């Protein structure tokens, strides 16, 4: 059996995403290596028992993500140089979800969780009293033990239903806030480059001058209240983002 053979996929919702994930899992397990040629759309559709249109949509998504490339008149190939993770940033999602959609098992490690006093700027931004206590959580995200991102999340204690401990924080800030009745509706995100520095360099196991990509985000609930501020630092050789731009 050729290594690019796929098992049949039964009827499911979001079929295109299931097909995409099946191909990603083949790549992640090493069953499809960089430079390998994929079967034709017709053959993949036959193996998975799905329509050719669904396969075409899945392959288009993978091409946008940079995981495969089409060579006219030759075929479709796995990209020669692959980051662990790559995808669009159009939809707001947690890092765990982003990692899982690439076929990897996300791993979260809470580095620290501490209470801090709000400064005047923070209190005004979150519309709370200057004496309000805030929480600052630092969480390292890894894949197969390899660091890919560091999240620093800050939020006021007033939005929580009860006190927070290191053990109760969990592995996802979005899931944690949902447990306290806080639902994130949207975020305002600034994207910039920075260097790791000594502290983050030690966590990422890289040199202090290692380039990082920073997402500096302010998160709002459905009533437009600011409920979370996050700074997420990404290792650029482990994770990349893309966005479709049109005229």
Residues of the chain with pLDDT under 70: 1-13, 28, 80-88, 242, 244-247
Contact 214, 235 (CB under 8 A): no
pLDDT for the residue numbered 204: 94
pLDDT for the residue numbered 21: 81
User: Could you give the CA distance from residue 131 to residue 123 in angstroms, rounded to a whole number?
Assistant: 8
Contacts of 15 (CB under 8 A, 6+ apart): 9, 50, 54
With respect to residue 10, please indicate whether it lies within any of the assigned structural domains.
no
The CATH number for 188's domain is 3.40.1410.10
pLDDT for the residue numbered 152: 97
Question: Does one domain contain both 95 and 40?
Answer: no
Question: Does one domain contain both 97 and 72?
Answer: no
Question: Does one domain contain both 49 and 106?
Answer: no
Question: Does one domain contain both 70 and 106?
Answer: no
Residue 230: enclosing H or E segment and its boundaries?
A: strand 226-235
pLDDT for the residue numbered 13: 43
Residue 89 C-alpha from the chain's centroid: 9
User: Could you give the CA distance from residue 55 to residue 12 in angstroms, rounded to a whole number?
Assistant: 14
Rg (CA), the chain: 21
Question: Does one domain contain both 205 and 134?
Answer: yes
Question: Does one domain contain both 117 and 38?
Answer: no
With respect to residue 247, please indicate whether it lies within any of the assigned structural domains.
no
Question: Does one domain contain both 55 and 134?
Answer: no
Which structural domain, as residue segments, surrounds residue 52? Answer: 15-78
Question: Does one domain contain both 54 and 116?
Answer: no
The CATH number for 37's domain is 1.10.10.10
| Domain endpoint, select from 34, 56, 78 | 78
pLDDT in tens, 25-72: 787 677 888 889 999 999 999 999 999 999 999 998 888 777 788 888
pLDDT for the residue numbered 2: 56
């Amino acid at each position: 059996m050729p290594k690019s053979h796929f098992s049949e996929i039964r009827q499911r919702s979001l079929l295109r995403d299931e097909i995409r994930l099946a191909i990603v899992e083949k790549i992640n397990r090493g069953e499809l290596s960089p430079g390998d040629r994929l079967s034709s759309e017709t053959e993949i559709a036959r193996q998975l028992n799905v329509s050719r249109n669904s396969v075409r949509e899945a392959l288009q998504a993978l091409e946008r993500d940079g995981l495969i490339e089409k060579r006219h008149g030759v075929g479709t190939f796995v990209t020669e140089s692959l980051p662990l993770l790559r995808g669009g940033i159009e939809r707001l999602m947690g890092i765990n979800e982003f990692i899982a959609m690439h076929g990897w098992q996300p791993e979260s490690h809470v580095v620290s969780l501490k209470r801090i006093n709000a400064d005047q700027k923070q209190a005004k931004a979150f519309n709370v009293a200057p004496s309000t206590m805030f929480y600052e959580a630092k969480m390292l995200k890894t894949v197969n033990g390899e660091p890919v991102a560091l999240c620093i999340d800050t939020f006021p204690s007033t939005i929580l239903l009860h006190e927070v401990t290191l053990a109760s924080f969990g592995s996802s800030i979005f899931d944690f806030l949902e447990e306290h009745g806080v639902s994130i509706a949207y975020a305002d995100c600034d994207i910039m480059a920075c260097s790791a520095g000594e502290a983050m360099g030690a966590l990422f196991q890289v040199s202090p001058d290692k380039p990082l990509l920073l997402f500096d985000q302010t998160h709002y609930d459905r009533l437009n209240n600011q409920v979370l501020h996050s700074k997420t630092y990404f290792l650029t050789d482990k994770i990349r983002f893309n966005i479709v731009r049109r005229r």
